[in-house]
Amino acid sequence: MNARLCIVFAVGLFALAARISAQPCEPEWDVGIGNPGLSSQVNDFILRDLGQGDRMLVGGFFLEPYSAMVAWDGQGWSMIGGPVLGDVNDFILYDDGNGERLYAIGTFWVGGNDLWHVARLDGNQWTFLDNGDNLNSVNHAIVWDDGTGPGLYVTGDFVTLDGVTTHNDIARWDGTQWLPLGDGLNFPGTQIGLTLEVYDDGNGEQLYLGGDFDRVDGESIDFLAAWDGQQWSQPWFGTGPSQTVDDLCVFDDGTGPALYAVGFFTSASGLIVNHVAKLQNGLWSDLDGGTDGGGGLVACGVFDDGNGPALYVSGSINVASGKPMKDIARWDGTQWHNPDGGLTTGVAAFALLGLPPDSPFGSTMFVGGNFTGVGGQTSNFIAEYKGCFCTADWNNDDTVNTQDFIAFLNDWAAQTPRADINNDGTINTLDFIEFLNRWAEGC
């Protein structure tokens, strides 16, 4: 349909579209992606164009609809690269100087007994970058430039990734080889890296490592440590978290960016924090008593659901800020909130990825984990938590005008998933009429 026909068609539909009164809008769960959903646990998400438009890539420990990793286009699933069997813990995009490509982190079996932990998607096939070992695991990855160029950092429970160099649970891939970070987590016994995050505390960026460890590079550092590109340190006053750190997120609650840690710890530097704590200017602080549920937290993410940016956490949660919760909670910088009933059947979310209103999927947070229900609805291991924004302001410039109408027309004609504004799984005339009504009402 050319532009002129679009305009004529739009005018005709606009004349037919009934004006509706503005309705209050609240964030809510959308379980379309979760029915039938996946066959088992989800560990990670990443938004990526694999050559046919943006897709939400999903990794985890499942066999259906495809093993370990799948792509969602808003209406259906497709395979990512060649088939593998195993468990994907993390996705990351990294440019080693030859163009940005997708990397998958986990445990993969290919061709019978060949086992690998780090893979790169080259075209439509996977290239494997480590010597697999049944005793190893690789849990998380991040890209960071330590001043010598961007590197792909991975952490987990491994001694070596190349069969030669000793890495001790954390290593850097420079595009051609694996390099150690000092002596890594080199103390005998269980030492496991679980999460990585880049954060600038005002003295320059550093790479933060969280996990289950009590010694780094020969120094006594518990559960959280920072690497500046040359050495490891504990860049805060007093002691660190009292137990395992499972995830790290950077979030600005209005006082400036801070590093947030979640896990099984209940204190930091002697302060009672209950599974979630904020680190800023070298000091730990509590988030209104943290969370309580008989266990710890395993994931965090940042999302603006229309009420302002907030930190979301998931794990074993029954109560926060004195209010009932169900395994997921929202922190607005002052108090905790229950996201529309939470995870009503299951254990926890292990992946939380918030997207802005101008994303291909609109304002939404993809939530994946080990659950089969959200907000009282069935949703198998994956769901969306839909934010509430002014739909009429399609281009998000805080003004509703003809530019929003044209922007919607373009997305509607291109069948962009975001254009399915009535959430019926099909982009058609009904979505066009729905947008016309909202556009006529304004915000």
Spatial distance between the Cα atoms of 84 and 392, rounded to a whole number of angstroms: 43
Spatial distance between the Cα atoms of 351 and 62, rounded to a whole number of angstroms: 15
The residue type found at 279 is: L
Residues 282-297 have pLDDT tens digits of 999 999 999 998 889 9
Inform me whether the pLDDT recorded for 137 exceeds 60. Answer: yes
pLDDT of residue 115: 82
Residues 326-365 have pLDDT tens digits of 999 999 999 999 999 999 887 899 999 999 988 989 899 9
Most confident segment among 2-11, 39-48, 409-418, 429-438? 39-48
Task: Walk me through the domains of the chain, giving residue ranges and CATH numbers.
Answer: 3-441 (2.130.10.10)
Helix/strand/coil (H/E/C) assignment for every residue in 220-269: CCCCEEEECCCCEECCCCCCCECCCEEEEEEEECCCCEEEEEEECCCEEC
What single DSSP character describes residue 17? P
Mean pLDDT of 74-90: 91
Inform me whether the pLDDT recorded for 305 exceeds 50. Answer: yes
pLDDT of residue 216: 94
Residues constituting the chain: 443
Grade residue 111 by pLDDT with cuts at 50, 70 and 90.
Answer: low
What single DSSP character describes residue 83? -
Phi, psi dihedral angles at 33 (to 5 degrees): -70, -20
8 A C-beta contact, residue 8 and residue 14:
no
Spatial distance between the Cα atoms of 11 and 154, rounded to a whole number of angstroms: 54
